[in-house]
Amino acid sequence: MGPWSRVTSQLEANLDRFLKNWGPITWRDEVSAMKDESDPRLGRLFWALAGVEDDSRHMRVKLHWSGADRSTVIQDFNVVWLAEEAEHSRAFMAMASRLGFNVDLPSHATLHRDRRAVIAAGALRAGSVYKAGMLAAYLCLGTLQEHVALSAYNAIARDPRTPQVIEPVLKRIAAQEGRHMRFYRQGAIAVFESFPETKAFVRAVSRRTWRPPGVDLLGKRAWADVFLPVLDSETGAMIRNVDHIASELLGEPMRLMERFERGLRGNAARVVLPRQSNAPLEASESRQSPRSQMVQPRTAGLASPPRP
Ligand SMILES: [Fe+2]
Ligand SMILES: [Fe+2]
Query: pLDDT, tens digit, for every residue of 18-28?
Result: 999 899 999 99
Distances in Å between the Cα of 87 and the Cα atoms of 50, 51, 175 are 9, 12, 14
% of residues, the chain, pLDDT over 90: 66
Distance from residue 188's CA to the centre of ligand 2 (Å)? 16
Instruction: Say how many Å lie between the CA of residue 235 and the centre of ligand 1.
Output: 19
Whole-number Å distance, alpha carbon 250 to ligand 1 midpoint, is 24
Cα–ligand 1 centroid distance for 301 (angstroms): 21
Ligand nearest to the Cα of 53, by number: 1
For ligand 1, the distance from its centroid to the CA atom of residue 84, given in whole angstroms, is: 7
User: In whole angstroms, how far apart are CA 63 and each of 58, 78, 120, 137, 203?
Assistant: 9, 9, 12, 11, 19
Compute the distance from residue 145 Cα to the ligand 2 centre, in Å: 8
Distance 35 CA to ligand 1 centre (A): 24
d(CA 247, CA 65): 26
Decide: 136 and 112 in contact? Cβ < 8 Å: no
Nearest listed ligand to the Cα of residue 147: 2
CATH of domain 3-303: 1.10.620
**55: which residues sit within 8 A by CB, 6+ positions away?**
108, 213, 214, 216, 217
- Ligand approaching nearest to the C-alpha of 87: 1
pLDDT, tens digit, for every residue of 149-186? Answer: 999 999 999 999 999 999 999 999 999 999 999 999 99
Report residues of the chain scoring pLDDT below 50: 269-308
Prediction pTM value: 0.84
C-alpha of residue 81 to centroid of ligand 2, in Å? 7
Q: What is the pLDDT of residue 268?
A: 58
What is the sign, positive or negative, of the torsion defined by CA atoms of 43, 84, 241, 130? Answer: negative
Centre of ligand 1 to C-alpha 67, Å, is: 23
Residue 89 CA: which ligand is closest?
A: 1
Other C-beta atoms closer than 10 Å to the C-beta of 125 total: 13
In 251-305, alpha helices (H): 256-276, 281-288, 290-303
